[in-house]
Chain A
Amino acid sequence: MTTDIDREQRLAATFVELADTLVAEFDIIDFAHTLIDRSVELLHADAAGLMLADQRGELRVLASTTEETRLLELFQLQNDEGPCLDCYTFGEPVVNIDLAEAEDRWPNFCAATTDLGFRSVHALPLRLRDELIGAMNLFCAHHSTLSEHDLALGQALADVATIVLLQERFVTHHEILAEQLQGALNSRVLIEQAKGIYAERAGITVDEAFTRIRTHSRNTTQPLSAVATGVIDGSISTSALTPADPTAVRSRH
């Protein structure tokens, strides 16, 4: 029972933390990362991603817990088949999927996911009334079965994501939806470009580049998009993002 109390406390802390990111100039990508990081913890998953419909007919990743290229490909793959696509298409949760038993349903997705060491997956819809805007995808290395309580919690987190993404509790005009979604997706592209620039300057992989950009964002409490912009326009130097050498001075330019 202590674990339940523990989780309630962490849940409360999560909502406080999320609310804390909702300042005037809040960063949508930062928010999305915080949300999925906490979702993974609270629902005992090992990786997760937030997928948004790009209004052109495709699902695209807004944020994922690790930016490992092979994980990003799992999201991309689901434009053809997978729990996220089904969840988005039908607007219903697709949960407690044992990959070993889903090979007929999504052969390519199951093979690729199993390859990465996952054994079960969940997908929860991002929905505002009749409008579906995407899905939250959770991957587990173990056999995971979400209880009703877990499911309600997961859906609450997905609902928070939806409301914040649309910035309006009562979006009546799909114009606002389009403005927000397209803006969020463009921010995501900007971060990919910054990863490439920094990876090349520092001679590291793009995955490592993202880790360092994100660490810098956290350490300096700047939004991820601001750090990405700084990397692109050169106002944040390559050395500023290099992990601190314990013997080095604290800051240098």
Chain B
Amino acid sequence: MATARVRQILSQVLDQHRDGTTLPGVLCELCARQLLVTGVGLALFTDAGHEGVVAATDQTAMTLEELQFTSGEGPCVDASRGGRPVLQPDLATTAPRRWPGFASGAAEAGIAAVFAFPLQVGWVRVGVLDLYRDTTGSLDGEDLTEALAFADAALALLLDLQELTPSAQDMHPNLADPVGRRPEIHQATGMIAVQAAVGLAEALVLLRARAFGSGRTVAEIAREVVNRTLRFDNGDEQT
């Protein structure tokens, strides 16, 4: 099962988390080791664009993020904007044409390949997970599946860091599927956004928090919302 691997990654992240490290930082380290890439970075992206770096395994990974932050272009920027991965196994041949402002800086930093995975649930944009290599080369099919699992784990982590409770330490295993294979989850997210007069990102967090709080699955709660047996009205509801 897809979510089993995501859950495993999240529990490893929680296990290895110590004072002085951050959860996103540990996730990036694990991802870099697991996928045999040189480094990994995690940046926040919203509709407004690049919102800053959350974690980076090394200085080059940090440079990769900063280059894109300052030039406003690059693989992660496109990944977030396009809502799909941007996989560049050989930057030297593709980057100068596509991202002239980013390409030279990346080459100087010794970045030869970048694989950017958007952390996204439909409209909801949270960030981008960037893997880089100092040599050219593709991710094979298994690597890709693994990278997508790390991206799902990073998404779950960032969504849950947005709320005060539950703390990530006792994250419910059912929350390990942020993408949500069931359409009701996304339909319910839309309905909750209207009911509680919040954005879709916050609606998704509310839905996940309710599942956590009641010890039930996100899909179960979502189904009740879609069937209109459960509502998420806020105090002063508007009509």
List chain A positions with a Cβ less than 8 A from chain B.
54-58, 60-61, 69, 72, 76, 79, 173-176, 178-180, 182-183, 186-187, 189-201, 206, 229, 232
Contacts and interface: CB of A to CB of B under 8 A. Distances in A.
A27 to B, nearest CB: 13
Interface stretch (B31-39, B59-67, B158-166, B189-197): B189-197
A90 B3 CA distance: 23
Given A55-B144, A174-B141, A186-B84, A200 B2 contact: no
B144 A193 contact: no
Interface of B: 1-2, 82-89, 118, 120-124, 138-141, 144-145, 148-149, 152, 179-195, 200, 226
A222 B84 CA distance: 22
B139 A175 contact: yes
B186 to A, nearest CB: 3
B191 A200 contact: yes
Contacts of B179: 189
Given A175-B87, A189-B179, A183 B82 contact: yes
Contacts of A229: 123
Of the listed residues B88, B121, B182, B190, the one surrounded by the most CB atoms of chain A closer than 10 A to its CB is B190
A191 B1 CA distance: 25
Contacts of B148: 55-56, 182
A55 B145 contact: yes
9 contacts: A69-B183, A175-B87, A178-B144, A191-B122, A193-B200, A195-B187, A196-B190, A196-B192, A198-B190
Given A196-B189, A196-B190, A197-B194, A183 B138 contact: no
Nearest to B82: A183
Contacts of B181: 54, 58, 60, 76, 79
Nearest to A56: B2
B190 A197 contact: yes
Contacts of A175: 85, 87-89, 138-139
Nearest to B148: A56
A193 B138 contact: no
B84 A179 contact: yes
Contacts of B186: 189, 192-193, 195-196
